[in-house]
Structure 1
Amino acid sequence: MTEAELYTLYKGIYLPSALHPPESLKYYEDFTFRPDDILIATYPKSGTTWMQEIVPLIMSGGDPASVESLPNWDRVPWLEEQRALILNLEQRPSPRMFSTHYRYNMLPPSFFKVKPKVIYITRNPKDVFTSAFHYYDTTSFLVKPGPQNEFLHKFLDGNVMFGSWFDHVKSWLNAEDKEHIMYISYEELIMDLKDSVARIAKFLGKSLEAEVVEKIAERCLFKNMRQNNMSNYSLVPAQFMDQSKSKFLRKGIAGDWKNQLTEAEAEHFDAVYKDKMKDVTYKFVWD
């Protein structure tokens, strides 16, 4: 099926229509944030699921109850998805935890007024592409990726769900009032998960003992998260996501793009990246 059949064009970007009906998009536009809310913001395939495991464990002081009893899409729901309409989010006690794949400038007026804490995760876009290439093939609500080179051009041009990786990242890097935003990368989580957990906890104002930090980091290792049925998407029916083609939690590594892209594709990617990011001064781990 094509983009016209499966996607809604919303504020210039593609959104999967099956997950983002008009009423859920309107719900987010009118959503009222609280100052103590926590928002995980990502471009898709950049570590959202990982952070949906880490943050609840930090906020609970290491108590695993929430990550063992609630699917990640309910414990830290996406505000733009239709599921948000039925979760009574207004009734949830503070601090509430949410996710979004929106760009910074797409957030509702209340976000800019109360300035809740945001954790923005970046990831090497070549690995984002690689993860997306496998993921798109498993779902019924996304356009099939087709030949790799064809999907690569779509990805680089932003003709994929949630638009251009470059525009998304730049929108958040150029955010105003950056003191309420923590920038962290997928690669940093891989390099030192314990240190990352400690830094996230400090940003969120949670004082945790070293052994609690260690326990959270251990639980959030990729191999352990894959065993958690509340996090590995095994609850999603096969007609929506067929994990026999590719596991949702596939590898959890950095640099898998080297196994995916041809030399010519990698060179083309680098050329586009250099041009699109030429005015960005932020130093990424992969640069």
Structure 2
Amino acid sequence: MSSFEELYLHYRGLPLPRGTFSEDFKYFEEFNFKDDDILVVTYPKSGTTWMKEILTLVLNSGDLTLFQTIPCWLRVPHIEMKAMAKHMEQLASPRSLSTHFLYNMMPSSLHTSKAKVIYVMRNPKDILVSSYYFHQMANFLEDPGTLDEFMDKFLKGRVFYGKWTDHVKSWKCAELGDRIMFITYEEMIQDLPASVTRISNFLCHNLSEDAIPKIAEYCSFKSMKDNKMSNYSTLPKETMDHDKSPFMRKGIAGDWKIHLNSEQQTLFTSAIRKELEGQNFSLPWSLD
């Protein structure tokens, strides 16, 4: 079994899997944002793929061509991954991009451009559970061990991309004015058509009345779970072993309630609250 040190490199304090990153971040640091770029920002397992798919269909007014023929990670590439450089250069404007990095790590061009940011938040208890299963099937990540062991690593930031609280604090305090939109995984589950409308309005991309329910239908969990361009099933088993756990597992809110016992819930909630003490923002859901 590979150790944490063997599996991860560190960039500005964040643990990143060596299997998907090079140690050269010059391309990222010099990345040039364009004024019409759209950046999806998430902490891992917060609805990244979901937002990528919605964004693709919103920008294409519900046309399914790209959605059904190009994998989501190529349509909306991660800007921190050097391997995606060529794909990003070939994208037509407006470009859809993504990142799991913190706000204070962003290239200077984000601040000088007019690029828009969509930040997706999710209840950290559900992120914990989803990430636990993802670590079981993603062979480029450290084996999670027991749920207790993994929760300890998660709270200490010994997981890829570090602490959830650091991520949320950095972007909640981002000085981007009306260029950033915050939306939650939970509100997308509760009313996806309304969320699609809100996203299209933020992007000033008018959709027809017919397009909104169509986008919501094709971006439903069942539809994406069956879409090979969304579900990562085309990747080799050596990268992601879907026999251990599917990449798209449940797509629900509140799954933590059947995984965490009362002691784990108390410990987790206490740790998160302590990390967020003194912040000038409130979370959109109760941690209890």
TM above 0.5, yes or no, is: yes
1:122 Cα deviation after fit = 0.5
Aligned position for 2:40: 40
The residue matched to 1:210 in structure 2 has which SS? Answer: coil
Aligned position for 1:119: 118
What does 1:1-287 align with in structure 2 at a 5 Å threshold? 1-23=2-24, 25-87=25-87, 89-287=88-286
Please list the CA deviations of residues 111-135 of structure 1 after superposition, one character each: whole Å capped at 9, or x if unmatched. 1111310000000000000000000
- Name the amino acid aligned to 1:103: L
State how far apart, in whole Å, the 2-side matches of 1:82 and 1:260 are: 36
In the TM superposition, structure 1's runs of 4+ consecutive aligned residues that sit over 4 Å from their partners are none
Equivalent residues of 2:28, 2:82 under 8 A apart: no
State how far apart, in whole Å, the 2-side matches of 1:284 and 1:190 are: 17
State how far apart, in whole Å, the 2-side matches of 1:177 and 1:111 are: 9
- Structure 1: any 5+ residue segments left out of the alignment? none
State how far apart, in whole Å, the 1-side matches of 2:191 and 2:285 are: 15
TM-score (ref. length: structure 2): 0.96
State how far apart, in whole Å, the 2-side matches of 1:91 and 1:220 are: 25
The residue matched to 1:49 in structure 2 has which SS? Answer: helix
The residue matched to 1:40 in structure 2 has which SS? Answer: strand
State how far apart, in whole Å, the 2-side matches of 1:38 and 1:4 are: 34
The residue matched to 1:15 in structure 2 has which SS? Answer: strand
The residue matched to 1:202 in structure 2 has which SS? Answer: helix
1:273 Cα deviation after fit = 1.6
Equivalent residues of 1:53, 1:72 under 8 A apart: yes
- Structure 2: any 5+ residue segments left out of the alignment? none
Equivalent residues of 1:187, 1:285 under 8 A apart: no
- Name the amino acid aligned to 1:36: D
TM-score (ref. length: structure 1): 0.97
The residue matched to 2:137 in structure 1 has which SS? Answer: coil
- Name the amino acid aligned to 1:53: E
Equivalent residues of 1:77, 1:83 under 8 A apart: no
1:22 Cα deviation after fit = 2.0
1:148 Cα deviation after fit = 1.2
The residue matched to 1:145 in structure 2 has which SS? Answer: coil
State how far apart, in whole Å, the 2-side matches of 1:209 and 1:86 are: 33
- Name the amino acid aligned to 2:66: S
State how far apart, in whole Å, the 2-side matches of 1:207 and 1:36 are: 16
State how far apart, in whole Å, the 1-side matches of 2:232 and 2:157 are: 26
Please list the CA deviations of residues 171-197 of structure 1 after superposition, one character each: whole Å capped at 9, or x if unmatched. 000000231000000001001000000
State how far apart, in whole Å, the 2-side matches of 1:59 and 1:283 are: 31
1:278 Cα deviation after fit = 2.4
State how far apart, in whole Å, the 2-side matches of 1:57 and 1:283 are: 31
Equivalent residues of 2:9, 2:23 under 8 A apart: no
- Name the amino acid aligned to 1:112: H
State how far apart, in whole Å, the 1-side matches of 2:284 and 2:190 are: 10
The residue matched to 1:137 in structure 2 has which SS? Answer: helix
Please list the CA deviations of residues 208-230 of structure 1 after superposition, one character each: whole Å capped at 9, or x if unmatched. 12221111011111011111110
State how far apart, in whole Å, the 2-side matches of 1:123 and 1:279 are: 21
The residue matched to 2:40 in structure 1 has which SS? Answer: strand
State how far apart, in whole Å, the 2-side matches of 1:109 and 1:48 are: 23
1:259 Cα deviation after fit = 1.2
